[in-house]
Structure 1
Amino acid sequence: MYRLGALLALCLALLMPATVQASTIEVTINSINTEGIGESIGTISARDTDQGLVIIPELSGLSEGEHGFHLHAGDQCAPQTNSEGASIAGLAALGHWDPDQTNTHLGPFGNGHRGDLSRLVVDRDGNTTTSVVAPRLKASDLRGRALVVHAGGDTYSDTPPLGGGGARIACGVGS
């Protein structure tokens, strides 16, 4: 009788779909400038959901307003020298992550590159805690790639270049 019960339990376990655990990741975000990587300004937590990747920022010390927010292809946040010899904050993060090689910026809900994330909105006290959704990303996409916060908003278009977000002001790499 015991063996029959155990066999029945095993059969039911094999027939039932496995419970899928949502993957999560936390990334420390640091201020950056042309001289290097500065202090932590907070964290970004991200978790997989049935709607895509939910990203929860807990950042402070930013200027009030909208800030472009992108997943970049590089795995570093350091400054680098551009072709004109100028030091650029966070240039080691490389360009926006574009695994499908679309070479276009259409926002987080468009079919352009997958590095476009929803703008971060910062309150008058310099904080942002409003969650954003990236429907075409998973938490695993953040591993080994830089998350970059830009000085200005983002148009999600190719004009002005890179959506007009401006200078890179904060960065962290998923691990």
Structure 2
Amino acid sequence: MKNITLAAIAFALVFATSCKENKKEEVKETEVEEVVKEASTKKELTISLSPKSDSQVEGTVTFKEKDGIVSMTAYMTGLSEGEHAIHIHEKADCTSPDGKSSGGHWNPTGQPHGKWNAETGYHKGDIGNFKVVADGKGTVTMTTDQWCIGCGDETKDILGKAVIVHEGTDDYTSQPSGAAGARVSCAGIIE
């Protein structure tokens, strides 16, 4: 009888321990899945702006995506005081000295050029104008659900495009680009 009782206790301990191990494995797998899921909904990309058209305009542009919303923050130096335009152009090619290798404005939906969210239409690359103070520094921030980073949707995906800073301002009416002047800085949106 003692042997049967000891055997039953040993069996119960082994069974309880193995159940605990299985629960630990289940928890770990669930935690890993949550971390992977969270990582897949967050993306971040920082690119460097390079001078074009004999300018000295440099800076960085950071794109962050979380839960289908993309935010852009651009910091620039070397600009003249006043207003300047910034756009997303169709190709991540900044090889030409004038930045024109980046092509025209990114316009995957075939809309007329205009101010962002205008009822009359706008390009997905029509970010707009920003002010620069006497020290030559400028900052642009924007948040939208109309862009994504590497999602593969041709009407939203900014990968493979370029950020262009212009010498002048966007008038929001001239077609197809807003008459914003020379391209003074360029950065390809690439990983």
Superposed pair shares fold, TM > 0.5:
yes
**Counterpart contact for 2:80–2:136, Cα < 8 Å:** yes
Tell me if the contact between 1:151 and 1:168 (Cα under 8 Å) persists in the aligned partners: yes
1:146 pairs with 2:162: yes
Quote the Cα distance in structure 1 between the aligned partners of 2:175 and 2:80: 21
Query: Displacement of 1:30 after TM fit?
Result: 1.0
The structure in which a higher percent of residues are helix is 2
Q: Which secondary structure state, in structure 2, belongs to the residue aligned with residue 68 of structure 1?
A: strand
The whole-number CA distance in structure 2 between the counterparts of 1:63 and 1:40 is 9
For residues 1-175 of structure 1, the aligned pairs below 5 Å read 1-3=19-21, 5-6=23-24, 9=27, 18-19=37-38, 20-33=40-53, 41-49=58-66, 52-79=69-96, 89-102=98-111, 104-110=112-118, 111-140=121-150, 141-157=157-173, 159=174, 161-175=176-190
Provide the TM-score with structure 2 as the length reference.
0.70
What is the CA–CA distance in structure 2 between the aligned matches of 1:154 and 1:27, rounded to whole Å?
23
Gaps of 5+ in 1: 81-88
Q: Residue type matched to 1:2 in 2? A: K
Secondary structure of the residue aligned to 2:51 is strand
Aligned partner of residue 9 in structure 1, secondary structure: helix
Which has the greater radius of gyration? Answer: 2
Deviations 1:97-141 (A, max 9, x none): 112223x11333345321111323222211013422344112333
Match of 1:83 in 2: none
Instruction: Give the Cα separation in 2 of the matches to 1:118 and 1:64.
Output: 16
What is the CA RMSD across the aligned residues, in angstroms?
A: 2.9
User: In the alignment, what sits opposite 2:13?
Assistant: none
Query: Which residue type is aligned with residue 23 of structure 2?
Result: G
User: Which residue number corresponds to residue 86 of structure 1?
Assistant: none
Aligned 8 A contact 1:118 1:133 in 2:
no
Structure 2: 5+ residue runs without aligned partners? 1-18, 151-156
170 and 11 in structure 1: CA distance in 2 versus 1, 3 angstrom threshold:
closer
Query: 1:139 is paired with a residue of what secondary structure?
Result: coil
1:94 Cα deviation from its structure 2 partner: 0.6
TM-score by length of 1: 0.75
Task: Give the distance between the partners of 2:86 and 2:76, measured in 1 at CA.
Answer: 12
> Could you tell me how far 1:64 is from its partner in structure 2?
1.5
In the aligned structure 2, how far is the partner of 1:150 from the partner of 1:164? 10
Asked if the contact 2:51/2:185 (under 8 Å) is kept, the reply is yes
Counterpart for residue 12 of structure 2: none
- The count of aligned residue pairs is 162
Change (3 A) 1:15 1:146: closer
**Partner Cα separation in structure 2 for residue 15 and residue 173 of structure 1:** 33
